[in-house]
Structure 1
Amino acid sequence: MSLDSIPRLGTAGVDELVPSRYAVQIGDIEVLVISDGVLPITARTMATNADPTEFGHWLDDRFLPKDVLDWPLNVVVVRSGDRTILVDAGLGVEFPDFPRAGNTVHRLEAAGIDPGAVTDVVLTHLHMDHVGGLLTQGLKERLRPDLRVHVATAEAEFWHSPDFTYTDMPGPVPDALRAIASRFLSEYHGQLQTFESEYELAPGVLISRTGGHTPGHSIVRLESRGDALTFAGDAVFAPGFDNPEWHNGFEHDPVESARVRIALLRELAATGEALVATHLPFPSVCRVATDGDVFRCVPTPWDY
């Protein structure tokens, strides 16, 4: 988990020229941000209620294409006390149309982390790019039999009969989300540990349900010796800093999602704690600053 334990180029082990893992120390808690890769997404899905011209300017200002974007996927590994916790599991490898995602297994190995050492998995929600990795052949068999998988009760209940009324996703996506969530619940029902609103998993590791993006969407808050970091899952997307009321097409309750996002960003701006989110550019470690009625993402300096 520490920087010293990560293989260097030219040494034994799996490594890459492009960085795909980034270590952060939060007091006594070790954190490793891992890139699961990127997957293509239609640009308009990032801001379904935005004025097209205004959204086009937003994309132009960031030198981004207006048709299809590469959407980053980040997961984190947390070590606190005797627990090694994987927060989200990436897309998995069963989606040939997304060949640049689903790299969590490979990148755990590159970081020297044995999947069998993971004691707990926290799922922010059950969308396929967060749970698919747990269904991957080659990872599932290596997980310990007493692995505990933590998810909000409301999330598990929702996916027994999901409602996509207020989402605005590309056509094939809802059926894929439904199928993967159903398979996950079937294969892992004996290992699920559900909670209602908050659950302290390990010293300084608190899971909190926010709702909004999905009914049981949750964030993970880390705090140790005066330092803090929040893994926000899908509560925050790249356009959501300066346009926090823009809706993402994957949000099951867009209005509540915007409320959750604004409240969380206000809190993080006030506390100054670090933020990591699933779909911000890797490694996504940043601080939140206020800029009038909106927010700014301030990347933290890369710590070599």
Structure 2
Amino acid sequence: MKQEINMNQHNASYPVGSKPEELVPSRYALKVGEIDVLVVSDGVLPLPTIMLGHNAAPADRASWLHHMFLPPDAFDWALNAVMVRSGDKTILIDAGLGSDPDLHLPRAGQLIKRLEAAGIDLASVTDLVLTHMHMDHIGGLLVDGVKQRLRPDLRIHVAAAEVKFWEAPDFSHTNMPQGFPDALRATAKQFVKAYGSQLRPFDEEHEVAPGVVARRTGGHTPGHSVVRIASGGEALTFAGDAVFAVGFDQPDWHNGFEHDPEEAARVRIRLLRELAETGEMLVATHLPFPSVGRVAIDGDAFRWVPVFWDY
């Protein structure tokens, strides 16, 4: 792929012509101006369909699923993370699920393996940005042996409000499958214990590298953030969990993982309007891989327009 070759020219750790181990592609490279971006799949997360909109009437939810040719009871949510190279910094945005055997999610937690397959040395990562501290965004760094392979001076950027929230998280407005709240609490606690000295909290906005800016949105969690990558008149926003697949057609539906679902809906609508106005690209954690697309206004709702893959 042309873009991957360009990335190789910047860093020999991105090999050209490495033999693929999987038939289904798990990474997609593109350029945003002069910034290299690589979307990497962490796998898929099977979840009940009620999680898409627990405030929606069951018949309306069933109708949307039927319209989208999706199964009625449960389907696989994509899990995407992003690698960015800007200047002398190599930035990982979110770290995937890792491993939680109690939740029986064997097809998720693939990020570390797939970074290795892309020829990316974990020791080359200078910065990590967390959109929030749900376990499918931090768990990859808790896999055995990973911390020892990371730089001891790795900087982990996360909103201060997010760190504060997980000291005593409120799950009263969420609607999650059994076992998830306990797993989320335990993983966040373990993460802070393991990496607390490397956290670099920011209040509302922080430039991680030239053209790479993290901005707190709140909503999904109090410290949920998005990351905008901009260079040479082009831009891409990694929206984390601000946007789900159903959120274009039904932006007011409440996702089961949202700790403040009403605020999350306001954040989602505001972000989608911004992206529709600017025409900038969007990537999000749970949009179908590779998740790169744009947003259009469609009456009272929105429409996701996937980019044409560039091979």
SS in 2 for 1:144: coil
Give the aligned partner of residue 169 of structure 2.
Answer: 162
Which residue of the other structure, out of 124, 130, 141, is the alignment partner of 2:131? 124
Distance 2:119 2:21 in 1: 10
Give the aligned partner of residue 181 of structure 2.
Answer: 174
Give the aligned partner of residue 44 of structure 1.
Answer: 50
1:202 is the counterpart of 2:209: yes
> Structure 2 matches for 1:285-296, cutoff 5 A?
285-296=292-303
Which amino acid is 1:192 matched to?
Answer: L
SS in 2 for 1:289: strand
Give the aligned partner of residue 259 of structure 2.
Answer: 252
SS in 1 for 2:101: coil
Unpaired runs of at least 5, structure 2: 9-13
Is the Cα–Cα contact under 8 Å of residues 7 and 15 in structure 1 kept in the other structure?
Answer: no
Deviations 1:218-253 (A, max 9, x none): 000011010000000000000000100000010000
Give the aligned partner of residue 24 of structure 2.
Answer: 18
Q: Report deviation, 1:166.
A: 0.7
Distance 1:91 1:219 in 2: 18
Which amino acid is 2:262 matched to?
Answer: V
Distance 1:14 1:69 in 2: 26
Distance 1:217 1:204 in 2: 20
- The alignment's C-alpha RMSD in Å is 1.3
Is the Cα–Cα contact under 8 Å of residues 7 and 14 in structure 1 kept in the other structure?
Answer: no
Which residue of the other structure, out of 48, 54, 76, is the alignment partner of 2:60? 54
Deviations 1:31-50 (A, max 9, x none): 00000000110110111111
Which amino acid is 2:199 matched to?
Answer: L
Which amino acid is 1:19 matched to?
Answer: P
1:3 is the counterpart of 2:9: no
Distance 2:309 2:88 in 1: 28
Which residue of the other structure, out of 150, 154, 167, is the alignment partner of 1:147? 154
Percent identity over paired residues? 63
SS in 2 for 1:154: helix
Which residue of the other structure, out of 82, 91, 109, is the alignment partner of 2:97? 91
Which amino acid is 1:298 matched to?
Answer: V
Q: Report deviation, 1:112.
A: 1.1
Give the aligned partner of residue 69 of structure 1.
Answer: 75
Bigger drift between 262-271 and 90-99 goes to 90-99
Q: Which runs of 4+ in 1 moved over 6 A?
A: none
Give the aligned partner of residue 272 of structure 1.
Answer: 279
Which residue of the other structure, out of 6, 28, 36, is the alignment partner of 1:30? 36
C-alpha change, 1:12 and 1:202, in structure 2 (3 Å) is closer
Which residue of the other structure, out of 84, 97, 120, is the alignment partner of 1:78? 84
Give the aligned partner of residue 11 of structure 2.
Answer: none
SS in 2 for 1:199: strand
Q: Report deviation, 1:140.
A: 1.8
Distance 2:189 2:139 in 1: 11
Give the aligned partner of residue 138 of structure 1.
Answer: 145
Normalising by structure 1, report the TM-score: 0.97
Which residue of the other structure, out of 220, 225, 242, is the alignment partner of 1:235? 242
Deviations 1:4-61 (A, max 9, x none): 24657xx555532110000010001100000000011011011111111111011011
